[in-house]
Structure 1
Amino acid sequence: MRRRRFVAWGLGVAAIAAGCGTGHVPGGGGGAGRRAEFSINPGGRRWDRVGQAFAGAARTSGYETGTGTRVTVTGLPALAAAELNNAETLLDTSTPLSRLAGDVEVVVVPANSRFKDFADFGAHLLAWPGQTPLAGGPEGAPDHLLFGLIAKGLGADTRQVDYTGYPSSQEAMIALLSGKAAAAAGLLPDWRGSIGQGRVRALAVSSAVRVPDFDVPTLLESGVRVDFADWTAAFGPDDMPEESRASAIRMCEDVTASPGWRAACRAAGWISIPLSGDDFARWLGSEVERTRAVLRDFGLVDATKATTCWGSCGNGH
């Protein structure tokens, strides 16, 4: 595997504790006779847009502006960065509240590629994983994880996958169009313009169902059991009291069920994937394990690293 690593993309993981970019929005589900308040904060610049959209939908849902319990909006890149840097996971450093939304990923090839569909590409990757150069975002980031999951789903030797990471989708596109890569993966909004211009062709999307008004099959339709999104979620502080956690979960459920949030997701091209409370915490545990397994296959993390502690070494929720 060619190594072009950009670990700096994951520095936002520390923001879940530090809380950068604060914008205060309270919630209205507290105990009898009083209102609980929440300050919603993006866990880094990457999550500014979704944090602002979530805060706006909270206001539209009737939550007044104020100060109070900190709720941090962060996601999959922070989880992967913690693994790459051998740091504590989001399960250990925060209280999981609710999954919010996700960006769909797309697998693309040059317009003149010999891979006419995903089946052609998948057959080549299965037979020659070390001779199918791939491109996308930084090593260990969601694009890289997706190719790892695809390789595993096909039955290919993930250790041989030839992936080069780039700091931006523009640079990944240059690599793809110049012949340095046979295929690339990235956020659908980042590639939609080039797809529409006919410069690249989309082979598959990572979501469980097709994207509306985008006639491209899913990976599941293409025979690969992968349902994947660059997800974003809401987290509380590590030492969050149970009463505050319950109020924050109610606020998240109110917001993600609101017309304002659904409209914000449609406008931004996100998929709304709400999951809250204990169900979200369990899902997050499985996502930590899935991410860790792929990074381990790539040789990017220690194969002997302990598995998720499931509440014995963190907030216990």
Structure 2
Amino acid sequence: MPSPTRLSLSRLLAASVTALGLLAAAPAQALDTVKILVPANPGGGWDQTGRGLQQALQQSGVKKVQVDNKGGAAGTIGLAQFVNSAKGDGGALLVGGSVMVGGIALNKSPVKLSQVTPIARLTGEYDVLVVPADSPIKSVKDLMERFKANPGSVSWGGGSAGGTDHIIVAMIAQNQGVDVGKINYIAHSGGGEAAAAIMGGHVTVGLSGYNEFAGQIATKKLRPLAVTSPQRLPGLDIPTLREQGVDVELANWRGVFGGPGISDAQKKELTAAVEKAVKSQAWQDLLKKNGWSDVYLAGDAFRNYVESEVASTEKIVGTLGLAKK
């Protein structure tokens, strides 16, 4: 019969082996720190996305989430910083989307989305075209008549050059037989700046995501003319462009990307954290508040989607002659 001491040592060794086995089988430790780079100035859609995701990640268990802004050139300045600073960093996220895809194509940017790691598409949003409440333009028909008669007399206020708003204007011009080179497009750094320009009479018509102008539409300071969706948006009695004879449809999507060269394990961990966050109440409240569509897409499906978006946007920009020479 073994001695009590030998029995105790045997039990201790057995317990240690069991514990080591459990540790080996345990899943990787969840992220406790995330840094989000928003490649735009505070206040716009990307900033709202980044700060909304910050709250959602914290609500879903990430201890520390930091958000930094680095605006300029349709997000490509922030993209360049992220490519240089986040290599191999499994806790870094970059907010981006269709505006950045357009900016890269328009500016022939040396940095590309292929240099970062697609994590997830998060939201989708259609544009609304608005004019000041006292504008003589009452409909898309009025706007198109003026645009076709004298393209330069219509100034369009939207977001970054080459972004979704700019591409929509170019698509409208092409659809209406207007020379794209005669478009008078005035880029703004955010929806707030664009709204001020429109209400101040500095531009003829503005376009951006509905949420950017919702307050001014509600108080009747701005009049909505059309949305760029295939059907009217739920709860909003605003006709589509197609209803009014302009065959144009385009959505602005936003998502997040990981750093260059992160491992499969790091990518899996980041994706899991984002997926958990978008199921949180904080994120669901943000979608409802901003009128954003939940278009969550991750993994290979999102990577394929980004590649398709890049190819189609480059084609649009090239066809419309928007790219810098």
Aligned counterparts of 2:114 and 2:235: Cα–Cα separation in 1: 40
Match of 1:55 in 2: 54
Aligned counterparts of 1:32 and 1:149: Cα–Cα separation in 2: 53
Match of 1:33 in 2: 27
TM-score, length-normalised on structure 1?
A: 0.70
Aligned counterparts of 1:209 and 1:254: Cα–Cα separation in 2: 31
Q: Which amino acid aligns with 1:39?
A: V
Aligned counterparts of 1:144 and 1:109: Cα–Cα separation in 2: 17
CA contact (8 A) 1:96 1:234 kept: yes
Distance 1:289 1:302, change over 3 A: farther
Residue from 185, 195, 198 that aligns with 2:207: 185
CA deviation profile, 1:58-107 (whole Å, cap 9, x unmatched): 3433x342697124131234333433443245432201111112444210
Question: Higher helix proportion, which one?
Answer: 2
Question: Are 1:75 and 2:96 matched, yes or no?
Answer: yes
Contiguous gaps of at least 5 residues in structure 2: 1-24, 66-88
Question: Are 1:87 and 2:109 matched, yes or no?
Answer: yes
> What secondary structure, in the 3-state scheme, does the structure 1 residue paired with 2:272 have?
helix
Aligned counterparts of 1:268 and 1:189: Cα–Cα separation in 2: 5
The range that moved more, 168-177 or 179-188, is: 168-177
> What secondary structure, in the 3-state scheme, does the structure 1 residue paired with 2:161 have?
coil
Residue from 234, 237, 245 that aligns with 1:215: 237
CA contact (8 A) 1:101 1:233 kept: yes
Following superposition, the deviation at residue 124 of structure 1 comes to 4.6
Following superposition, the deviation at residue 138 of structure 1 comes to 4.2
Aligned counterparts of 2:188 and 2:283: Cα–Cα separation in 1: 32
CA contact (8 A) 2:211 2:291 kept: yes
The range that moved more, 233-242 or 86-95, is: 86-95
Q: Which amino acid aligns with 1:42?
A: L
CA contact (8 A) 1:79 1:89 kept: no
Q: Which amino acid aligns with 1:55?
A: Q
Following superposition, the deviation at residue 201 of structure 1 comes to 1.2
Distance 1:215 1:72, change over 3 A: same
TM-score, length-normalised on structure 2?
A: 0.68
Map of 1:55-204 to 2, 5 A cutoff? 55-61=54-60, 63-65=61-63, 69-76=90-97, 77-122=99-144, 124-125=146-147, 128-154=150-176, 156-167=178-189, 169=191, 172-173=194-195, 176=198, 181-204=203-226
The percentage of counterpart residues that share the same residue type is 27
Q: How many pairs align?
A: 272
CA deviation profile, 1:157-184 (whole Å, cap 9, x unmatched): 3233222334555654565456554322
CA contact (8 A) 1:206 1:226 kept: yes
CA deviation profile, 1:260-315 (whole Å, cap 9, x unmatched): 32112223443322122222222212322343344445644257xxxxxxxxxxxx
CA contact (8 A) 1:202 1:216 kept: yes
CA contact (8 A) 1:154 1:224 kept: no
Aligned counterparts of 1:65 and 1:174: Cα–Cα separation in 2: 38
**Alignment root-mean-square deviation, CA:** 3.4
Match of 1:224 in 2: 247
Distance 1:158 1:270, change over 3 A: same
Bigger radius of gyration, 1 or 2?
Answer: 2
CA contact (8 A) 2:119 2:270 kept: yes
Contiguous gaps of at least 5 residues in structure 1: 1-30, 304-317
Match of 1:263 in 2: 285
Following superposition, the deviation at residue 41 of structure 1 comes to 1.0
Distance 1:98 1:220, change over 3 A: farther
CA contact (8 A) 1:159 1:297 kept: no
